[in-house]
Amino acid sequence: MSVFVGEDGKAFATIATWESHRNSLREAWIKYLGPMTTVREKGKRYDPPAFEVLEEVEFDGIIRKKILYTTEPGQQVRAYLFMPQKIETPRPAVVVFHGTTLDSYHQTAGVFDTGVRASGYHLARRGYVTICPQNCLWPCSDDIQIAVGEMTAQFRKRNPDSWGMARMILDAQIAVDILVSLSEVDPQRIGCTGHSLGGKQALYLPAFDERVYCSVSSEGGIGIEQSNWEDEWYLGRPAKAQDFPLSHRDILAMIAPRPFLLIGGNDSDGDASWPYLAAAMPVYRLYGEPPCLGLFNHKKGHAMPPEAEKMTYEWMDAFLVP
């Protein structure tokens, strides 16, 4: 796997030449993902959708709101919004994406179980404002049963020129829009994290949203060949073709120089993922040393063991807490 090089075949020598190339990469990805794909710029205001509070509870020193809002026109999403009960100064905030589980966003919110995957709940207990949106592969209702085929077919009918990841990027950006609109949130300290399906979103969001400063992706499969990226709700069959011109090393380098941690268990991610980080390392080093790019392999398969949870929170604390 080659490092990033310019037209002369040499590694980019300046930040300016790299950033010009990064813009070209983004344009190529936007063209492939489809017209729904958007880019959010740091420092620019994006109006969030109005949201309805469906329920609100206070416990364990935090406030949890179940909210409902519109993303794609005519399509609504539910999410849990957390914040500490006592906030004296604006807090760092994190978007927490759930994996493929029957509990969906209830899991990351710790509604049924405050175990290791309830990152939205645990980060709020640590002083963060968090939002846990439900992925668009689930119907927007209290029924938590996933409906991949049905939801994907409906999406593709509405948006025949966009792949599913375009919608997931949009939904993730709107979650950030909501966070940065809150007076309780410091808009300069935004992070994201997710496991499995959520790990895929945590890879793509910072590449297309410069407001996201810090990210952790767990077991999403950073290489296109390492997971089911060919599914229509992600990138579609062309992504697995031998002549596919794009790579996730592009996506990873587009995040630079913002901190990115990849967590794996030698299932979707792990030792086989390191070449992707190594390919992006020269880009990160353009911005200085040490590069804020890491891989943690817990070697426990497609799981989120306690040590992975601990590493996630330590990574967020290191880069988002002053």
pLDDT digits (tens, 9 = 90+) for 42-63: 999 999 999 999 999 999 999 9
Joined tokens for residue 61 = 């020193």
Sign of CA dihedral 229, 235, 237, 243: negative
User: What distance in Å separates the CA atoms of residue 222 and residue 248, rounded to the nearest whole number?
Assistant: 7
Q: Is the pLDDT score of 2 beyond 60?
A: no
In 10 A of CB 8, how many CB atoms? 8
Task: Look at residue 299 in the predicted model and tell me its pLDDT.
Answer: 98
Task: Look at residue 7 in the predicted model and tell me its pLDDT.
Answer: 53
DSSP category for residue 271: G
Can you say whether residue 199 is alpha, beta or left, with left for phi > 0 and alpha for psi between -120 and 50 degrees? alpha
Joined tokens for residue 253 = 């380098």
CA-based nearest residue to 175, from 123, 134, 142: 134
The domain ranges of the chain are 15-320
User: What topology is assigned to 15-320 in CATH?
Assistant: Rossmann fold (3.40.50)
User: What distance in Å separates the CA atoms of residue 177 and residue 44, rounded to the nearest whole number?
Assistant: 11
Whether residue 311 contacts residue 261, with contact meaning beta carbons closer than 8 Å, is answered with yes
Sign of CA dihedral 57, 61, 62, 63: positive
Q: Environment class of residue 225 by beta-carbon count within 10 Å: exposed (0-12), middle (13-18) or buried (19+)?
A: exposed
Mean pLDDT computed over 58-72: 97
Whether residue 141 contacts residue 97, with contact meaning beta carbons closer than 8 Å, is answered with no
Can you say whether residue 193 is alpha, beta or left, with left for phi > 0 and alpha for psi between -120 and 50 degrees? beta
Could you read off the pLDDT of 170-185 as tens digits, one per residue?
A: 999 999 999 999 999 9
Q: Is the peptide bond before 257 cis (omega within 30 degrees of 0)?
A: yes
DSSP category for residue 127: T
Which phi and psi angles does 216 have, rounded to 5°? -135, 125
Q: Is the pLDDT score of 4 beyond 70?
A: no
Q: Is the pLDDT score of 6 beyond 60?
A: no
The SS3 of residue 310 is helix
Helix (H) or strand (E) holding 55: strand 52-59
Whether residue 260 contacts residue 316, with contact meaning beta carbons closer than 8 Å, is answered with no
Q: Are strands 62-70 and 52-59 parallel, antiparallel or unpaired?
A: antiparallel
The SS3 of residue 4 is coil
Joined tokens for residue 66 = 């179940």
DSSP code string of 207-246: HHBTTEEEEEEESS-SSGGGTTTTSTTTT-GGGGSTT---
- Please, what is the average pLDDT of the chain? 94
Task: Look at residue 144 in the predicted model and tell me its pLDDT.
Answer: 67
Could you read off the pLDDT of 190-228 as tens digits, one per residue?
A: 999 999 999 999 999 999 999 999 999 999 999 999 999
User: What distance in Å separates the CA atoms of residue 13 and residue 37, rounded to the nearest whole number?
Assistant: 30
Task: Look at residue 141 in the predicted model and tell me its pLDDT.
Answer: 79
Joined tokens for residue 224 = 């296109």
- In this prediction the pTM is 0.96
H helices, E strands: number in the chain: 9, 9
The SS3 of residue 2 is coil
Task: Look at residue 92 in the predicted model and tell me its pLDDT.
Answer: 98
